[in-house]
Chain A
Amino acid sequence: MGHRTPLYEEHVKAGARIVDFGGWDMPLHYGSQIAEHHAVRRQAGIFDVSHMRAVEVRGERARDFLRHVLANDVDRLAVPGKALYGCLLNEQGGVLDDLITYFIAPDWFRLIVNAGPAERDIAWLRGHAGAFAVDIAPRPDLAMIAVQGPQADAAASRVLDAAAFAALGRLPPFHAAFTGDSFVARTGYTGEQGFEMLVDAHEVAALWTRFVAQGVAPAGLGARDTLRLEAGMNLYGHEMDEQVSPLESGLAWTVNLATDREFIGRSALLRQRAQGLARRLTGLVLQGAGVVRAGQEVRGSFGVGTVTSGSFSPTLSRGIGLVRVPLAALDGEVCALAGRSGQALAARLVAPPFVRHGRVLIDL
């Protein structure tokens, strides 16, 4: 038995198929992951993301500390409530985790890290915290839900109290705010509008039930994966890990090398850049029937690439994937995916995202 979130009983009651994810017993789907996927693209869905860990970074030098340990620069966060996506790197420039940092106050930042690497992240952060005299405090007392889809705010208007809904309404993308005891953020992992909420673990089941009563569909990790894949978003352990540079994972935009800020992994990334990168991450779409699977090989005039994430896109009704290819490979190039029995499936490289805000963004 793995760790269980405060919503575990709700998942079981709703008929979820439970699977292990990063050491947690999580819902894969509640009957049909494709139906859940469509619900998020077309109406609204609710995800339990309480397996992800909130970690507080507090202290007068919290900003200096995060400028040292994160590859993205928290100096980009000028306004309290603003969020920043970025990577935690090791000295070799490999990715320890990808995370969101919320700027709450000059002496208080909140990180949201992935379930699998969470313990390692916390140990790593504490290992580097001493010189900055900051406190690293995980928040197991908080649970997290994501409400996503074009109808997410309409549901929120009926579920949240007036003050909380007004606060949500004022939030620009990638900003967060406290409303009472809960923390609401304009973030997500689906490519749709919506929000995420961090709330008291004892209160999350009641909140979940109220959203579901408003017609918001419980959605599991299966739909979460196909939604993020269509939206061209990376998944830790697939698109990047300790062995892979963010510069070869489509994450150069999250690494600020423009200033002389000394952060962990910087010299390794500068060295890689000077030597020249070998690979890059892009998208892949099958021309005919089939499903793309992680680990499959792709061959084209560019050489050989490897699928890092693959699935079936419910929105496109096509197999799609993210693929690491030689740097010279151009989007639009035709290529062949090696199927499970070795047969070649016709495919094409495409620049992700595939789908966002309900709209198809690639040519089929």
Chain B
Amino acid sequence: MSKVPGDLRYTKSHEWVRAAGADIVVGITDHAQDLMGDMVFVELPKPGTELVVGKECAVVESVKAASDVYAPLAGEVTEVNEALAGAPETLNSDPYGEGWLFKLRPHDPEAVRALLDAAAYESLLASEG
């Protein structure tokens, strides 16, 4: 069973977000990393990039496949996880911790509430079988 921490919000495209002051941290879920297998490359947006909600903003590539990461909220990228370039496997071993992708300052901090909570994301996973 994939881990779905209760204190995070989720998207239908398997990103997670965590509030961190004025910013939110974004990553991909345990379910997503598990499906993709060993990660070998991560392409992150540059700090300062304006993200449009639902649009591709990063790429994670595993031995098996490449997959887009979609912006969970509109906002500006404030920081990216540079350490992933040299250790993409962190996405597999610690998707909710050291494997975070980037930080985002959302234009509308309230918009995070519209994302799935853990229970809703778990139901989504269950329905995907």
Q: List A residues at the B interface (Cβ < 8 Å).
A: 17, 28-29, 32-34, 222, 226, 289-291, 293, 311-312, 314, 340
Please provide the 5 A-B residue pairs with the shortest distance between their CB atoms, ordered closest to farther. Answer: A34-B38, A312-B40, A289-B41, A312-B63, A291-B61
Chain B residues with Cβ below 8 Å from A222 are: 37-38, 63-64
Query: Are B66 and A33 touching (Cβ within 8 A)?
Result: no
Tell me, yes or no, whether B92 is within 8 Å of chain A by CB. Answer: yes
Q: Which residues in B have some Cβ–Cβ distance to A below 8 Å?
A: 37-38, 40-41, 61, 63-64, 66, 89, 92
Give the docked Cα–Cα distance between A99 and B41 (Å).
Answer: 35
Chain B nearest Cβ from A359, distance in angstroms: 22
Cross-chain contact B66 with A34 (CB below 8 angstroms): no
Do the beta carbons of A291 and B38 come within 8 Å of each other?
no
For the complex formed, measure the closest distance between the CB of B43 and the CB atoms of chain A, giving whole angstroms: 8
Of B38, B66, B89, B92, most buried by chain A (CB within 10 Å of CB) is B38
In contact, A28 and B41 (Cβ under 8 angstroms)? no
**Bound CA span A354–B40, Å:** 18
List of B residues within 8 angstroms of A33 by Cβ = 37-38, 63
Residues of chain A within 8 A (CB-CB) of B63 are 33-34, 222, 226, 291, 311-312, 314
Minimal beta-carbon separation of B62 from chain A (angstroms): 8
Determine which residue in A34, A222, A226, A293 has the highest number of CB atoms from chain B within 10 A of its CB, and name it.
Answer: A34
**Known contacts A33-B37, A222-B37, A312-B40, A340 near B64 by CB under 8 Å:** no
Q: List B contacts of A314 (CB < 8 A).
A: 63
Q: Is the CB of A340 within 8 A of B38?
A: no
Cβ contacts under 8 Å, B64 to chain A: 222
**Residues of the B chain whose Cβ atoms lie less than 8 Å from the Cβ of A32:** 37-38, 89, 92
- Given contact pairs A28-B37, A33-B38, A222-B37, a sample of 4 additional A-B residue pairs in the complex whose CB atoms are under 8 Å apart: A29-B37, A29-B38, A291-B41, A311-B63
Residue pair A34, B89 in contact (C-beta under 8 Å): yes
Nearest neighbor of B66 in chain A, beta-carbon distance? A340
Nearest opposing residue in chain A for B43, CB measure: A289
Select the residue from B63, B64, B89 with max chain A CB neighbours within 10 A: B63
B92 touches A291 (CB 8 A): no
**Chain B residue with the shortest CB-CB distance to A223:** B63
Contacts of A289 in B (CB 8 A): 41
What are 17 of the A-B contact pairs (CB < 8 Å)?
A17-B37, A28-B37, A29-B37, A29-B38, A33-B37, A33-B63, A34-B40, A222-B37, A222-B64, A226-B63, A290-B41, A291-B40, A291-B63, A291-B66, A311-B63, A312-B63, A314-B63
Closest partner residue, chain B, to A317 (CB atom) = B40
Bound-state Cα–Cα, A17 to B89, Å? 18
Measured between beta carbons, the chain A residues less than 8 angstroms from B41 are 289-291, 312
Cα distance, A340 to B63, chains bound together (Å): 14
**Chain A residue nearest to B92 in the complex (CB):** A32
In the bound assembly, the distance between CA atoms of A196 and B79 in angstroms comes to 51
Measured in the bound complex, the distance between the Cα atoms of B63 and A29 in whole Å is 12
Nearest to A35 among chain B residues (CB) is: B38
User: Closest B-chain residue to A318, C-beta based?
Assistant: B40
Complex: A32 Cα to B92 Cα, angstroms: 9
User: In the complex, A351→B7 CA distance in Å?
Assistant: 52
